[in-house]
Every structure is written in C-alpha cells, then in structure tokens.
Amino acid sequence: MIEMKNNIVSFTNNTVTQERPVQLSVEHVNIFYGENHAVKDVTIPIHEKSITALIGPSGCGKSTFLRTINRMNDLIPSARCEGTINYKEVNILNPKVDVVQLRKEIGMVFQQPNPFPKSISENIQLPLRFAGVRSKKVLKQVTEDCLKQVGLWDEVKDRLDRSATSLSGGQQQRLCIARALALKPDVILLDEPTSALDPVSSAKIEELLLELKNSYTIIIVTHNMQQAARIADYTAFFYQGELVEFGTTKTLFTTPEKKSTADYISGRFG
C-alpha cells in the first residue's frame, strides 16, 4: 500500500534538514459554533519559515482552525474558542489581543480571490496607508517589490491603474498574496488558495509558496493531497474536528501511524 502511495505523490521539496524553531504553539484548542463542537482539542506546533499543510475531508474543521489563528472567526457571532495559541509569548486567543495588529502580523489569503474593486496598485497601497505609510515613494517601491515577489510585476507594470478585477483568477490570487506580503507579516494563512484556479495558475501559486517559505511561515489548508505532498514540510490530518495525525509530510505520507490517515491519503474516503 505504501509503495502505491509513493507512485501517486512525488516529494519534490520536503527537505526539512533540521527542526525549525516553533513560531506558533497551538495548545488544546477547542472551537465551537453554538452547540457544534467543530474543532476538538488540537495541539500542534507550527514551525517557523516552513509550510504546514492542513488536510482532511470537507467539514473536518481545518478551515475553522485556520481562521482562528488570525481571529477571523470573531466575525461569526456564534463562534467560541478555548485553549491557547502562543505567538511571541502572547496567547492570541485572549480577547484583549489587538486583532488589527495581529492581522498585520498574521496575514490571510482566501479561497476565492478577493481583490478590492479598485486599481491594482490601490489594492496593495490601501492597507499600507492604513498602517501609516504616507510617503508616495515608499508606497510605489513596496508595490513594485511585492508584485515582483509574486511574479506579477512584468504582467501588470504597465497597467497598475487598471481595475484589479480585470485580472485573471490566478493573477488576482497572486495580487491577494502580494497585498498580504506588503504588510510584512510573519505568518501567512492560506485557505484553499488554488481550489478556484486552473492547474497552470495553481502550479504558479505553489512555486511561489515554495519561494516565500524562505522568509515567511506558511499555513495552508488544502483538500488536494498531492498539493500538500508537493509543497508542505509538515502536514496535519484533520478528521471530524480532531487532529488525527501531525508530522513531517514525508512521514505522514509514507509511514502514517493511524489507519484513518492511511485510508485518507490513499484515497479510500474523503
């Protein structure tokens, strides 16, 4: 069975030579929607400057968990959350935490590309200006740097004042990543960033993430196991709200400890 799996997935970039330091330490996190216990007692270390993939079938709580890390679940009135997520020695689930500041340090990219219905440059500069950057020169420079970082600069440099909604889906998603990078976050959360995109655009995003992990901590939710295998250093398998297994991607995919993990990654369910 394990040999078969190795044929399905190829490990191109799972070279975790040494354990990286832990950036986010998640301890006993429980998340509820009203009565519904959506995420159950999750404990997991998120290592710095690496990609951690959260996989599992639909409704397993992986997106809910991801949205808790930058407190986007605060928007849902019925959502409630227990436990601790330590980041820079602060429990970010503490209600007193300044979520605005938190979200500058822990950025997020969504499943559906969501550029603002404004010009391309404005999409990047708007959050920057709110963060206090006033100098036009700096704004221009950061716009260029971020667009270069996501490989969009050459495609859009002549039409920065055009509407961001005129870009293709893949370009829009890269713009959204660029926009998150502009704030110089430590962590980037991605919620199924390629599931609305065609394969070519998806491949570009994957390449980009592999480059970005040199400077950022990346957590990605994906329903695509091959994607997790291709890009992630660590993988966590969620099932019915529980964290079933967590480990380096290679271990999890080649020698899973739990039977349900093995079943899921070999395509028996999910």
Partner 1 sequence: MNSKVTNRIALSVIVLCAAAMAAVLISMLGYILVKGLSSISWHFLTTSASPFMPGGGIKDQLWNSFYVLFITMLLTVPIGVCGGIYLAEYAKPGKITSFIRTCVEVLASLPSIVVGMFGMLLFVNYFGFKYSVLSGALALTVFNLPVIVRVTEDGFRALPRHQKEGGLALGMTHWHTIKTILLPAAFPSILTGIILSAGRVFGESAALLFTAGLSTPDLNFENWNPLAPDSPLNLFRSAETLSVHIWSVNTGGIMPDVDTIANGSAAVLVICVLIFNLFARMLGKIINQKFSGK
Q: How far is the CB of 71 from partner 1 (least distance, A)?
A: 9
Q: How far is the CB of 119 from partner 1 (least distance, A)?
A: 4
**Residues contacting 184, CB < 8 A, separation 6+:** none
How far apart CA 191 and CA 54 sit, in angstroms, is 9
Min. distance of Cβ 160 from partner 1 in angstroms?
Answer: 9
Report 27-56 residues binding partner 1 (CB under 8 A).
Answer: none
Contact 91, 63 (CB under 8 A): no
* CB closer to partner 1, 24 vs 108: 108
| 104-135 burial: b if 16+ Cβ within 10 Å, else e | bebbbbbbebebeeebbbbbbbebbeeeeeee
Decide whether 163 or 195 has the Cβ nearer to partner 1.
163
**How many residues line the site for partner 1 (CB under 8 A)?**
35
The tokens describing 43, both together, are 């404990």
Q: Which residues pair with 84 in a beta bridge?
A: 27
Please identify, using beta-carbon distances, which residue of 92 and 265 lies nearer to partner 1.
92
Residues 145-184 that bind partner 1 (CB under 8 A): 161-166, 176, 179-180, 183
Q: Which of residues 108-147 bind partner 1 (CB under 8 A)?
A: 108, 110, 112, 114-120, 122, 126-127, 130-131
Nearer residue to partner 1 within complex by CB, 43 or 168 = 168
**Do 174 and 205 meet the contact criterion of CB atoms below 8 Å apart?**
yes
CB of 77 to partner 1, least distance (A): 6
8 A C-beta contact, residue 139 and residue 164: no
Q: Which of 47, 103, 174, 230 is the binder for partner 1 (CB under 8 A)?
A: 103
Structure tokens at 69: 């890390």
**Is residue 233 a contact partner of residue 48, using CB atoms and an 8 Å limit?**
no
Q: Which residues contact 164 (CB under 8 A, 6 or more apart)?
A: 115, 116, 117, 118, 119, 120, 122, 123, 172, 175
Least gap, CB of 95 to partner 1 (angstroms): 16
Closest separation between CB of residue 237 and partner 1, Å?
25
Contact set for partner 1, span 215-234 (CB under 8 A): none
Write the CA distances from 237 to 27, 229, 249, integer angstroms: 16, 12, 10
CA nearest neighbour of 78 among 33, 26, 13: 33
CB of residue 212 to partner 1, shortest distance in Å: 17
Site for partner 1 in 68-97 (CB under 8 A): 70, 72, 75, 77
Residue 268 within binding range of partner 1, rule CB under 8 A = no
Q: Which residues of this protein are in contact with partner 1, per CB under 8 A?
A: 70, 72, 75, 77, 100-104, 107-108, 110, 112, 114-120, 122, 126-127, 130-131, 161-166, 176, 179-180, 183
